[in-house]
Structures are given as structure tokens and as C-alpha cells.
Amino acid sequence: MRAFILLISVFLCYGDIHLFASTQAYINEKVDIDNKLKQLAIEKGVIPEDADRSYLRKEMDEKNTITMWILMSRENKITMIDGLKKKYKEEDIIINNPSADYVEAINIVLYDSILEGYTDANKKKGIKTIFETIAIMDKDYNKVND
């Protein structure tokens, strides 16, 4: 009987460790998508491998938010989405979903677009358009009634 209880205990502990490892991998995957997006953009020639501050400045001057997005840290991406949500709120449009969810969705849209070769079209649309489209599709773009 003790052997059985010991076996069950080991199994339950291993299951918890496996669950923790899976959860940690998922959390790491969210952060890693930023790196994967940047690496794919370099591989496909969307951004140069040696992109530096002067390159980023040029892209900012041209208002190429896609390139800026690819080069930004996750924290800066969340801050950018927070800013967009604030601007919409000033226009009486409420967007409730967490900014981090939008960062994920935008990263996925850009990753898929770059993978499929649709980078030129998205460069001109910008992050704001992609963000707005995702919010509308998710039914999270709510105009406040006056």
C-alpha cells in the first residue's frame, strides 16, 4: 500500500512539474514571439540585420510604425498600445482588452504577413490600423453613447 501511495505521489508531483514547465514555456513563448518576429523580418529582408539608431530614426521620420514595432521591446509595445487606447478613449471609443493581448495579436499578424510576403502593404497601413482592425474584429471597439 505504501508503495502505491508513493507511486501516486511521484506521479502527481511529476504532473505538477510538467504543468509548470508547460506554463513557463507558454510565458516564454509570448516574449520569444518578439524575437521570432524580428528574426523573420531580418531573414525576409524587411529590416537590415545591422539596424541601428539612425535606421530607426529614418523609419520614425517616414512614420513606418511596422519597422518601429519590430524593433521595439515588449514593454514599449504595450506602452504604445496603451497610448492608442487612451487616444480612442478621448474620442469616446472604449477598448477594454488588455494591451498585452493586442501586442500578441499584432505580432502574429505581422509574423504571418512577413512569412507570406505581404510586408509592403502592411508597412503603409501601420500599427494603428492593425490595432483598430483587431479591436473591431474582436468586438472590443465600443463607441460610448452621448
**Better pLDDT: 83 or 5:** 83
Joined grid coordinates for residue 124? 503603409
**Enclosing H/E stretch for 143:** strand 142-143
pTM of the model: 0.74
| Number of structural domains in the chain | 1
Domain that holds residue 133: 2-143
pLDDT of residue 51: 85
Neighbours of 110 (CB within 10 A): 23
- For residues 143 and 93, the answer to whether their CB atoms sit within 8 Å is yes
Dump the DSSP string for 88-136. Answer: HHHTTEE--S-HHHHHHHHHHHHHHHHHHT-HHHHHHHHHHHHHHHHHH
Per-residue model confidence as pLDDT tens digits over 100-141: 999 999 999 999 989 888 766 556 568 999 999 999 998 998
